[in-house]
Amino acid sequence: MYGWAGKILRVDLTKGTISTEETKKYTDYLGGLGFGYKVIFDEAPKAGPFDPENRLIFAIGPLTGTMAPSTSRPEVISISPHSYATQAKHSMASRSNFGGYWGAELKFAGYDAVIVQGKAPKPVYININNDKVTIEDASSVWGKDGLAAQEAIKQLQKDEDIQIATIGPAGERMVRIAPIIHRLGNVARQGGFGAVMGSKNLKAIAVRGNKGVKVADEKGLIEYVKVVRSFQPAPLGATPLSSGPLSWTGKHIDPADINHQAQRFNQTESNAPWLMKYHLKTQSCYSCPQGCYTYMKTPKEGMGAVSCTQWFYAWMGNRDEATFQASQLVNKLGLDSFEMFPMIQFIWFLQDEEVNGKSLLRHMYDKKLVSKKNLDVLEAAHYPRGGGDLGSAGLEGMLTMMAYREDFLGDALGEGFRRAMDILSDEFKRLKMPDVADGVMKFVKMEGIMGGVVGGNGGWGMSAHYDPRTFGYYWAVNFAMENCDPMRHSMTNLIEWTGLSFEQAMPVAIRHWGKDVAENGLNDIHRDRTTPLTWNGDKSAKANAYLSQFIHYRGCIKDSLTGCDWVYPVMVSGREDRGYAGDISVEYKLVGLVTGEKMTQEKLNEQAARTWTLHRLLTVLEWNDGKAVNMREEHDQIPDHFFAPVDTRLLPAYPPADPPHPPLIRENFEATKTEYYKLMGWDVKTGLPTRSLLKKLGMQDVLASFEAQAFKLPS
Ligand code: SF4
């Protein structure tokens, strides 16, 4: 098998057994994400996230470890402790991934995936060294932070180059917002999979391999990678610009100015220019020419890596070294940096919102839900009421409190911001303080930064990117279908971060999707914040449904090939002679060259359809315990506030947030859903995948298994 290692590793921590099985069993599902969903569907679809039978899968794809650009981000799949839908009977399967070198190393060691199940009787780590796989005692590593733990394992194994994925103290305590950490800052952030590792007493998975990857057409691959890279010096797919507003309106970067293009993107310069004196270099994941993240070193914090939402503290209003301190702290403690947006806003809200002349936080102190020490910490961490820099006061104590679950309040915050609201509100109800209980719940309506989404429940309890009111109905459907942050960069790579103006980007959109889709789906995204989206009836519904399907299929392909979201699909190029267009057929050409299979986009789409259908069926099983359910009505919804004008003040006061666009119209949303179900081959009334779709996709085994444990799907 070209591209594949051919073997999947299974480690049962309860039994202490290690075995391998053939990769071939899963290749209809392409790799990465598809593998993970199939394993969960086949083996434990309704497990609780912390049940020993829950599977934790690290999976890679045929391109991982080859020279195909930006394709070594292993996918992590499990039943998520982070996802939170009060209507669901079970926790839902979810996904995350991380960059760095671990994924490529796993392939070099000879494996396409690692399936972890069971629970070790005491802390352990898994050590993979080519064919030699052992379960090692982790008692000397347990308790160490996410960076120190890696150093300790390197010393234990006497190998500086070993690649390690680990958890921090938060994961050990099953904090539901605990990620998995690799190297200095490559993190599988959302989903709470660090907590799943903690529940299994699994501190880390260390990997070392030297087997290489067999490629079917080496010469062809080398030549084609040159072609792909020639789309530069402008963005290969595009990453955020080093300056300028995060919107395509009025933006036009000179293609000759490569210092303002993604290839030379320097996130320190963009996000925290005051830290440039500590910037060491930009750094890349395996096989990636982008170098999108920053290596930094300060006298106080030492060495670390920062990228994307790890800059959260700067985006929230900090302008000094505390920006880097905050990033280091979340990586060391093992907390999800993206969750910190709503979480810190929630902590501020508890102080700003008063009931009977007293802040919610002070009510908590009165009832001994928070200690004096942590009350002082949180009040110090409030944004400065008189203006000025956010600063570092209280920062470490606040993050430590949730990572270590200190006090009733810290324990609640360790459950994630959305669960914490319910826990605290319920506690005040129990204490017969209904006004305070209601006060806590007001946060759900708050409009925060990141497009006003983080205060709602767009990601089923997880913070989520970008407001559907800004992007439109395809983005709203995206929110409705996913079980986590629905963010897929495929769209934002074109419409947010390219440096192309609306006028430059629209022809690219037409080239990729045709005139009808581009003009009716993206027609007026550049509007100002007072103008509602225009709606051209059926045409808009169909165009938005098409874009939504594109996002989902291309997301499944990318996550199954372990491609990077910043890059795939390659939407744009900075080259004027290409009309700034990228090439959205790159993935299948790379797969063909690596595996030797005759590949087409249709074939990849079919594999994506299988993966997305599995995700859907898993959600159906988990949502209503396998009993009949109308997904259209129950699951495929977005928070009400997207359909209504803002009725509460904006959060946070730091920094001032843009007001959201005018509300969506519910009947347009429903019309888009109808067209989406039709495109997907799902039943329009219930949103369920049909029997004929599963047969068409060759998923008879899945159909039989689903119907045996649940109910008959619509024909
Ligand atoms: S673009 Fe950044 S995150 Fe993506 S693979 Fe490259 S270096 Fe890693």
Query: In this predicted model, what pLDDT tens digit does every residue of 347-372 receive, in sequence order?
Result: 999 999 999 999 999 999 999 999 99
Per-residue pLDDT, 263:
41
Sign of CA pseudo-dihedral 350, 50, 162, 266: negative
Distance in Å, CA 283 to ligand 1 centroid: 8
284 lines ligand 1 (CB under 6 A): yes
Atom of ligand 1 nearest to the CA of 100: 8
User: What is the Cα–Cα distance from 619 to 93, expressed in whole angstroms?
Assistant: 7
Over residues 632-656, the mean pLDDT reads: 79
Beta bridge partners of 570: 583
Pocket test for ligand 1, best of 64, 295, 562, 566 (most atoms within 8 A of CB): 566
Residue 651's pLDDT band (cuts 50, 70, 90): low
567 lines ligand 1 (CB under 6 A): yes
Instruction: Judge whether residue 453 has pLDDT over 80.
Output: no
562 lines ligand 1 (CB under 6 A): no
* Cβ proximity of 91 and 80 under 8 Å: yes
157 lines ligand 1 (CB under 6 A): no
User: What is the Cα–Cα distance from 205 to 153, expressed in whole angstroms?
Assistant: 10
Q: What is the largest CA-CA distance in the chain?
A: 74
Instruction: At 650, give phi and psi (nearest 5°).
Output: -80, 145
Distance in Å, CA 522 to ligand 1 centroid: 27
Angle subtended at Cα 543 by Cα 542 and Cα 546, rounded to the nearest 5 degrees: 85
Atom of ligand 1 nearest to the CA of 284: 7
Pocket test for ligand 1, best of 63, 284, 558 (most atoms within 8 A of CB): 284
**Can you list the positions of beta strands (E) in 30-92?**
56-59, 75-79
Distance in Å, CA 100 to ligand 1 centroid: 8
User: What is the Cα–Cα distance from 665 to 544, expressed in whole angstroms?
Assistant: 14
Over residues 604-611, the mean pLDDT reads: 98
Residue with CA closest to ligand 1 atom 2: 292
Tell me the DSSP string of 544-586.
HHHHHHHHHHHHHHHHHTT--TTTSSEEE-S-GGGTTEEETTH
Atom of ligand 1 nearest to the CA of 70: 5
Q: Express as a percent the part of the chain with pLDDT over 90.
A: 72
289 lines ligand 1 (CB under 6 A): no
Residue 359 CA: distances (Å) to CA of 347, 348, 353, 370, 548? 11, 10, 6, 13, 42
Among 195-209, 298-312, 523-537, the least confident range: 523-537
- Find the radius of gyration of the CA atoms of the chain: 24
Residue with CA closest to ligand 1 atom 8: 285
Displacement of CA 57 from its chain's centroid (Å):
16
Q: Express as a percent the part of the chain with pLDDT over 70.
A: 91
Assess whether the previous peptide bond of 233 is cis (omega < 30° from 0): yes
Residue 250's pLDDT band (cuts 50, 70, 90): very low
Over residues 60-77, the mean pLDDT reads: 97
Per-residue pLDDT, 283:
85
Reduce the DSSP state of residue 332 to 3 states and report it. Answer: helix
* Cβ proximity of 57 and 78 under 8 Å: yes
Distance in Å, CA 44 to ligand 1 centroid: 32
236 lines ligand 1 (CB under 6 A): no
343 lines ligand 1 (CB under 6 A): no
Instruction: Judge whether residue 458 has pLDDT over 80.
Output: no
Distance in Å, CA 54 to ligand 1 centroid: 30
**219 vs 281 pLDDT, higher one:** 219
pLDDT tens, position by position, 28-44: 999 999 999 999 999 99
Per-residue pLDDT, 241:
37
Atom of ligand 1 nearest to the CA of 72: 5
Distance in Å, CA 293 to ligand 1 centroid: 7
566 lines ligand 1 (CB under 6 A): yes
* Cβ proximity of 566 and 498 under 8 Å: no
pLDDT tens, position by position, 502-546: 777 889 999 999 999 999 998 777 788 888 999 999 999 999 999
Tell me whether 0.85 is exceeded by the ipTM: yes
Per-residue pLDDT, 235:
42
Distance in Å, CA 606 to ligand 1 centroid: 26
Atom of ligand 1 nearest to the CA of 288: 6
Over residues 450-475, the mean pLDDT reads: 74
Pocket test for ligand 1, best of 292, 306, 311 (most atoms within 8 A of CB): 292
User: What is the Cα–Cα distance from 343 to 600, expressed in whole angstroms?
Assistant: 44
Token representation of residue 623: 């949502």
290 lines ligand 1 (CB under 6 A): yes
Per-residue pLDDT, 252:
42
Assess whether the previous peptide bond of 52 is cis (omega < 30° from 0): no
Per-residue pLDDT, 267:
74
DSSP 8-state code for residue 682: B
Displacement of CA 18 from its chain's centroid (Å):
30
The Cβ of residue 663 has, within 10 Å, a number of other Cβ atoms equal to 17
Residue with CA closest to ligand 1 atom 7: 284
Atom of ligand 1 nearest to the CA of 289: 6
pLDDT tens, position by position, 376-429: 999 999 999 888 889 999 999 999 999 999 999 999 999 999 999 999 999 999
Token representation of residue 30: 């392409």
User: What is the Cα–Cα distance from 276 to 274, expressed in whole angstroms?
Assistant: 6
pLDDT tens, position by position, 548-601: 999 999 999 999 999 998 889 988 876 778 888 889 999 999 999 999 999 999
Reduce the DSSP state of residue 34 to 3 states and report it. Answer: helix
Among 45-49, 303-307, 316-320, 336-340, the least confident range: 316-320
Atom of ligand 1 nearest to the CA of 308: 3
Over residues 458-468, the mean pLDDT reads: 82
* Cβ proximity of 692 and 699 under 8 Å: no
The pLDDT mean for the chain works out to 90
Distance in Å, CA 77 to ligand 1 centroid: 20
Pocket test for ligand 1, best of 70, 98, 101 (most atoms within 8 A of CB): 70
Domains belonging to the chain, first-starting first, are 7-208 (3.60.9.10), 340-445 (no CATH), 468-599+639-680 (no CATH)
Distance in Å, CA 262 to ligand 1 centroid: 11
